[in-house]
């Protein structure tokens, strides 16, 4: 293989890895970073989004609309869960972890009973990109662009809307925010809804490249938590910095040795970063570089 083909392959792996890590972890980062809720049902919210996307796709609806419907389905479920369960468990992290873990078990079994062990898949769009000996799935590259777009949209929401101002104030000091007249309960509800929608969209985006099964969320949960922990408390900066650093390490190792080596290198890098920067990369970037 030529040097150019090898370089293009490496760039493809890095772009695809960055897109995957950002997309699967954004919803988790929003809920954890702004609400301090460790959502152990994160993978199952992705599963709801993937199933809703696949169901809509079988009806002949365009894929982009199907993905958005997947986000809406997960968002509605998030509203129900937040109102019925999680609003009573704020500032009780262990209880919220147990509740979301139980929810994940219920969702998996419910989908298994209703839809069976598997569901009709979604066709992968856009075909392949080829140049000489280089060939790659165009959709994997598109996911990298979608990840950047999602970061941009969420940045605008959290920095240029009234909700974003209230959400950031609540995250920094909920008691002071309440004393200033901010309805923190409503902020938490909207935040969980947004995080759920983003997670559902993630499931929909991956529907064309994974098997639609009740346990599909387990394929992403480790990468999601690792990216959020490595990134740190700053939601968008943390996910972006964690995603790019881990995808580069994974891409170089996978390209040089193999896919398994890439995953091992990713996890070892995460451990090293956490050891050096316990509060994550975003804390370093904000504190040391003045970001």
Tokens 């999602």 belong to 150
Tokens 């499931």 belong to 203
Look at the alpha carbons of 208, 121, 71, 86 in this order and tell me if their dihedral is positive or negative.
Answer: negative
Structure tokens at 263: 């995953």
Q: Are 207 and 114 in contact (CB under 8 A)?
A: no
Confidence (pLDDT) at 37? 87
> How far is residue 39's CA from residue 23's CA, in Å, rounded to a whole number?
16
> How far is residue 205's CA from residue 67's CA, in Å, rounded to a whole number?
6
Taking the mean position of all CA atoms in its chain, how far away is CA 84?
A: 24
Mean pLDDT within 62-88: 94
Tokens 């759920």 belong to 196
Mean pLDDT within 45-57: 96
Q: For residues 212, 214, 215 and 216, what is the CA-based torsion angle, rounded to 10 degrees? A: 30
Contacts of the segment 181-189: beta carbons below 8 A, 24+ positions apart: 185/87, 187/163, 188/35, 188/82, 188/87, 188/90, 189/79, 189/82, 189/83, 189/87
Other beta carbons within 10 angstroms of residue 121's beta carbon come to 16
Confidence (pLDDT) at 129? 77
Given a cut of 70, whether residue 4 has pLDDT beyond it is no
Domains of the chain, start order: 3-288 (1.10.3470)
Confidence (pLDDT) at 132? 67
Given a cut of 80, whether residue 288 has pLDDT beyond it is no
pTM of the entire predicted model: 0.92
Tens-place pLDDT, residues 241-281: 989 998 988 888 877 777 777 788 888 888 898 888 888 88
> How far is residue 22's CA from residue 193's CA, in Å, rounded to a whole number?
18
Structure tokens at 280: 């994550």
Which has the closest alpha carbon to 240: 279, 289, 268, 281?
A: 281
Q: Are 138 and 128 in contact (CB under 8 A)?
A: yes
Of the given ranges (39-43, 193-197, 268-272), which has the lowest mean pLDDT?
268-272
Given a cut of 90, whether residue 285 has pLDDT beyond it is no
Confidence (pLDDT) at 207? 94
181: alpha, beta or left? (left if phi > 0; alpha if psi -120 to 50): left
Other beta carbons within 10 angstroms of residue 58's beta carbon come to 13
Given a cut of 60, whether residue 109 has pLDDT beyond it is yes
Confidence band, pLDDT 50/70/90 cuts, at residue 172 = confident
% of the chain surpassing 70 pLDDT: 95
Mean pLDDT within 171-191: 89
């Amino acid at each position: 293989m030529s040097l150019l083909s090898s370089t293009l392959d490496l760039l493809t792996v890095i772009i695809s890895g960055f897109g995957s890590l950002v997309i699967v972890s954004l919803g988790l980062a929003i809920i954890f970073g702004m609400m301090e809720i460790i959502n152990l049902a994160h993978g199952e919210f992705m599963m709801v989004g993937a199933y809703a996307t696949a169901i809509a796709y079988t009806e002949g609806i365009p894929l982009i609309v199907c993905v958005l419907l997947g986000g809406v389905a997960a968002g509605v479920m998030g509203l129900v869960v937040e109102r019925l369960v999680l609003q009573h468990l704020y500032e009780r992290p262990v209880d919220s972890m147990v509740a979301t873990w139980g929810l994940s078990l219920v969702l998996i079994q419910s989908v298994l009973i209703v839809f069976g062990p598997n569901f009709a898949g979604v066709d992968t769009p856009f075909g392949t990109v080829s140049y000489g000996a280089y060939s790659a799935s165009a959709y994997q590259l598109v996911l990298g662009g979608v990840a950047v777009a999602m970061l941009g949209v969420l940045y605008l929401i959290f920095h240029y809307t009234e909700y974003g101002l209230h959400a950031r104030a609540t995250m920094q000091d909920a008691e002071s925010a309440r004393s200033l007249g901010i309805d923190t309960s409503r902020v938490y509800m909207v935040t969980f809804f947004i995080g759920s929608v983003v997670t559902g969209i993630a499931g929909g985006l991956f529907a064309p490249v994974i098997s639609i099964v009740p346990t599909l969320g387990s394929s992403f949960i480790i990468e999601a938590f690792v990216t959020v922990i490595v990134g740190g408390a700053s939601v968008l900066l943390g996910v972006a910095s964690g995603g790019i650093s881990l995808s580069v390490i994974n891409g170089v190792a996978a390209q040089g040795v193999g896919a398994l080596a890439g995953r091992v290198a990713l996890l070892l890098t995460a451990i090293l970063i956490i050891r050096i920067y316990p509060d994550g990369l975003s804390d370093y970037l904000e504190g040391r570089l003045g970001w």
